[in-house]
Amino acid sequence: MRLEPELWEALLEVCQREDRDVHALIRAVDASRHAGGRTSAVRVFLLQYYRAAATEAGHAAAAHGPHVARRAA
């Protein structure tokens, strides 16, 4: 499976957060196979994982978004 280094890093971070082995996680993602194949399924999984984590509270804690500019002004 070919992924960009940043996606491998993100995948390993998810594995650490979820206390899962990378091979087990990939097998689980592969079992819910995306139409584009395994690599595409992993990319979609990562996008969905981080989108689900990207709440307003999470953005505020990480100092992301337009509210940061308003606070600094």
Q: Where are the domains of the chain?
A: 5-72
The predicted pLDDT at position 64 comes to 67
**What is the DSSP-derived secondary structure letter of residue 47?**
H
How far apart CA 14 and CA 19 sit, in angstroms, is: 8
- Can you tell me which residue has the tokens 């989108």? 51
Residue 70 pLDDT level (bands cut at 50, 70, 90): low
pTM (2 decimals)?
0.76
The predicted pLDDT at position 27 comes to 94
For 12-63, the pLDDT digits (tens) are 999 999 999 999 999 999 998 767 899 999 999 999 999 888 888 776 776 6
**What is the DSSP-derived secondary structure letter of residue 65?**
S
The 8 Å CB, 24+ separation contacts for 2-10 are 2/39, 3/39, 3/42, 3/43, 7/42, 7/43, 7/46, 10/46, 10/50
